[in-house]
Amino acid sequence: MNSITRLVLSLALIVGSASLAAAQFTISIPKIPKIPKIRKDRPTTSDASTDKNTATASNGQMTDEQYEAFRTLVFDRDHPKTMLVLAYMECYDKKHNLKHNQYRYGEVRQFATNKEKVDTLTAEQTQLAQLERDLRAIGVSDNGADDLGNPAIWLDITGNRQQYLQCVLNDVPKPGECGKLDDARQARVDSYKEELQELLGEVKSFNGDRGWYSSRYREDWLLAAISPSTRKEIAPNYGDAFPCITGLLDEIKAAAKLTLPKYTLYSYNVRNPAGERIIKSAIPDLNKGKVFKTGFLESVWLIEKNSIGIPERRFKHGAIWVKFPGWDHGYCQILWVNLLQDYTGGGTWGASYPNFIRSEPAGCPTGAKAK
């Protein structure tokens, strides 16, 4: 074989080898077919619930535009609707057999009294009706959330607002149903009862041997116990708690009937006509009452000094024993009014003036004539 022939054969072998190698290592990658999107069909008419008690709307999955319209409606920064439904969340969980956790929905809605709660929620029924119409106009549905981000919860409460209102009203205690008070109101009642029990002890223990009948910071309670008009006046201030303490007020009233007549102005026998006229001037309507006695406890001035011993004022303890015909408790009253003079320096004192301290129910003098 000549050299030319050998060269041709070699070239043929090289080309063949290259073709074989290409055939062994070239991989053809087929195109992967696209996976079709899963389409969530809207429920048919037969699947859709027509019962307003269901929390699921019947228009299927919400679009982004619908959900945004829902959030704008209920969570608007200037006019949020959350307070309209917060009072019903415990009833919502009860209805759907869910473990209640108020803080999953938001703050607990507070009311000053149960009457305010009933009146407010009843008045808001109109707003809930409008909110239902707005929700249905948007076309809301259930997104599966377990908080107020789920439009279906709103639709359930607004659509069944009367049933939810009744659920809340069923748990509102009637006047005197103290066992149904919530923890906050029960704590208030317990605090009031503690004060009243201490006052009852003071009233029962009085036998005329001390210069005071009841503690000064309980004088309003004493007046509420013995005065029907005062009791009626203060009752709204205590709301639902008041019917739970009227029993103790009645006990105090009964005890006062036995001991209060013993409380009289037996001291304060120092007379000073000029000083008495001044302390009487502190009571604008004193001329309408019967004054039985005025006087002072001391004949000499008591001096008040500052921290470095410089006099500031001097005073005498004064009192007026009186009965006003308009008082409905039937007792007399001791008006404690001090006589004061301010220090003006150089050993001199200013003009006398009165300082009213307190008014305290007391017994009336027997056979005494008004002065």
DSSP labels, 203-224: HHH--S-SS-SS-GGGHHHHHH
Position 290 confidence tier, pLDDT thresholds 50, 70, 90? very high
Instruction: Report d(CA 141, CA 153) in Å as an integer.
Output: 9
**How far does Cα 314 stand from its chain's mean position?**
45
Structure-token pair, residue 73: 């409606």
Measured torsion, CA atoms of residues 131, 134, 138, 140, in degrees rounded to the nearest 10: 20
Beta-bridge partner residues of 322: 291, 333
Integer CA distances (angstroms), 4 to 83, 211, 220, in order: 102, 146, 134
Say if residue 24's pLDDT is above 80: no
Instruction: Provide the pLDDT for residue 182.
Output: 74
Residue 142's contacts (CB-CB under 8 Å, 6 or more residues apart) are: 55, 56, 57, 150, 151, 152
Residue 55's contacts (CB-CB under 8 Å, 6 or more residues apart) are: 96, 142, 150, 152, 153, 155, 156
Collapse the DSSP code of 259 into the 3-class scheme (helix H, G, I; strand E, B; otherwise coil) and give the result.
helix
The 8 Å CB, 24+ separation contacts for 203-207 are 203/252, 203/255, 203/256, 203/259, 203/260, 204/255, 204/259, 206/259, 206/260, 206/262, 206/263, 207/259, 207/262
Say if residue 277's pLDDT is above 80: yes
Instruction: Provide the pLDDT for residue 298.
Output: 95
Mean pLDDT within 335-344:
97
Mean pLDDT of the chain: 84
Measured torsion, CA atoms of residues 156, 162, 165, 167, in degrees rounded to the nearest 10: -80
Say if residue 206's pLDDT is above 90: yes
Say if residue 353's pLDDT is above 80: yes
Say if residue 44's pLDDT is above 80: no
Collapse the DSSP code of 18 into the 3-class scheme (helix H, G, I; strand E, B; otherwise coil) and give the result.
helix
Mean pLDDT within 16-21:
44
Instruction: Report d(CA 139, CA 72) in Å as an integer.
Output: 14
Instruction: Provide the pLDDT for residue 27.
Output: 39
Instruction: Provide the pLDDT for residue 34.
Output: 43
Position 120 confidence tier, pLDDT thresholds 50, 70, 90? very high
Mean pLDDT within 135-152:
93
Position 6 confidence tier, pLDDT thresholds 50, 70, 90? low
Position 52 confidence tier, pLDDT thresholds 50, 70, 90? very low
**How far does Cα 363 stand from its chain's mean position?**
40
Q: Are 265 and 334 in contact (CB under 8 A)?
A: yes
pLDDT per position as a tens digit, 156-188 = 999 999 999 999 988 887 766 677 777 777 888
Instruction: Provide the pLDDT for residue 108.
Output: 84
Structure-token pair, residue 289: 């009452």
Burial 348-359 (b: 16+ CB within 10 A, else e): ebeebebeeeeb
% of the chain residues with pLDDT over 90: 63
Position 65 confidence tier, pLDDT thresholds 50, 70, 90? very high
Mean pLDDT within 232-249:
89
Q: Are 176 and 244 in contact (CB under 8 A)?
A: yes
Residue 12's contacts (CB-CB under 8 Å, 6 or more residues apart) are: none
| Start-to-end Cα distance in the chain | 165
Instruction: Provide the pLDDT for residue 245.
Output: 93
**pLDDT: is 35 or 105 the higher one?**
105
